[in-house]
Amino acid sequence: MSRPAWRVLALVAWPLLGLAGLWGWTELRSREGTEWLVPVSGYDPRDLLRGHYVQFQYDWPGVGSGRLESDGIGELCLHGRAPKIDSVTPAPTGAERTPECTNYARADDLGNYVPTGLLRGRVYVSQDEGRKLEKQLADPRLQAMVRVRLRPDGHLTPLALSFRPRPAEAATGE
């Protein structure tokens, strides 16, 4: 192969190798962390003009969404053993991690819900399961749970919705 052909091949190969490396790194990074189940309170049905997503509000145990919003809480400490959250406590933004807080969630600086990353989330829903999920979300007898992955750096990624029976007193409103 002539020298100019090698140069052309190198010019094409280096960017492709760089993109492949970047893809591999982000794929590996996205799979880091611990999975937790977080209750969901409110939801917005799928908006077909914006894609197949279900948007929802997290219902963190022990911290109401109103408090998160009004106090501007940007970081939370999750207590419990994955995947079950026993309680959640707010942590001041920028606080150093403490030995008591090994599962630290923070609102992302980037994304669709800045600065409300700990208030709201969204999950992709395929067209096949969309109608089924909408019915389940509207059923007052079911409690929606979102499975999230919490990375060691505090980044929270919603993965999927699941459902469990709502306790009797919560379903009837008593």
Residues 15-36: tens digit of each pLDDT:
888 888 888 887 777 778 899 9
CA 165 to centroid of chain Cα atoms: 22
Q: What is the pTM of this model?
A: 0.74
Which has the closest alpha carbon to 65: 126, 24, 120?
A: 120
Give the pLDDT of residue 116.
Answer: 58
pLDDT at 171 over 90: no
Query: Where is pLDDT greater, at 173 or 142?
Result: 142
**If you count DSSP H runs as helices and E runs as strands, how many of each does the chain have, helices first?**
4, 8
The length of the chain is 174
Give the ranges where 56-124 is alpha helix by DSSP (H).
Answer: 65-71
Helix (H) / strand (E) containing 15: helix 3-30
Average confidence score pLDDT of the chain = 79
